[in-house]
Amino acid sequence: MGPPGAGKGTQAKVLAEKLKLTHISTGDILRQNVSKATQLGKQAIEFMNKGTLVPDELVTKMLTQRIEQPDAKKGFILDGFPRNIGQAETLDDMLKQRNMSIDMVAYLDASEPVIIQRLTGRLVCSVCGAIFHTKNMPPKKDMICDHCGNSLYQRADDQVETIKNRLQVYQKESAGAIQYYEKQKKLHRLDADLEAETVINNIIHLAAQYNDSPKV
Ligand SMILES: [Zn+2]
């Protein structure tokens, strides 16, 4: 868990590779369902076209399907879920029915100035989705993707005012879920202002104590 710009996506991917677990991102699942036009994907499109958030119930259904695939049996790392207490409770119910449970929650705690610096410099490839950064990871050619040669752009919601607003929304939304995992003594706060490599090493160190039954 963690606010936008804390590095969840990047860290989850690396962590999944290192721990040989499956990386499950709710953002990816949503995009896949939409692009394959599955029944759930079609329902999601209706909300997206209206400009409203895709309801929790729909996201949870997609997640349930994803968790039932063979590659998730040995355990997985959830990225972008849960975001609120309702999702956290639903997730626990869903896992319980499958004799699974959450081992550990890593909360990536990044400060506002660092988040703003990261997100305002973020550049996204219009075709392959690769992410660059004006300062931290500049493309070889200005505004051109290193991987596919197409143009890079800045996301409309990566502007300072929008970011501040997204952070407030996140804090309000996630507070209940954070408390929920704190009570269960599963939440570990990590300083996510540090270099990505240091953060990942700290997470791996924490995860080592759950090696017997790696799940989340
Ligand atoms: Zn590209």
What are 10-25's pLDDT values in tens digits?
899 899 999 999 999 9
Q: Residue 189 catalytic?
A: no
- Please pick, among 42, 96, 141, 155, the residue that the annotation labels catalytic: 155
Q: Left (φ > 0), alpha (ψ -120 to 50) or beta: where does 74 sit?
A: alpha
- Determine the distance separating the centroid of ligand 1 and the alpha carbon of 123, expressed in angstroms: 11
- Mark the ranges of the chain whose per-residue pLDDT is less than 70: 211-216
Taking a 5 Å cut-off on Cβ, the residues next to ion ligand 1 are 125, 127-128, 130, 145, 147-148
Provide, for the chain, the percentages of residues in helix, strand and coil under a 3-state DSSP scheme, each rounded to the nearest 5: 50, 15, 35
What per-residue string of b and e applies to 69-97 under the rule 16 or more CB within 10 Å gives b? eeebeebbbbbbbbbbbebbebbbeebee
- Residue 209 to residue 159: CA distance in whole angstroms: 39
pLDDT given for residue 27 in this prediction: 87
- Determine the distance separating the centroid of ligand 1 and the alpha carbon of 153, expressed in angstroms: 11
pLDDT given for residue 214 in this prediction: 47
User: Contact at 8 Å (CB) between 160 and 131?
Assistant: no
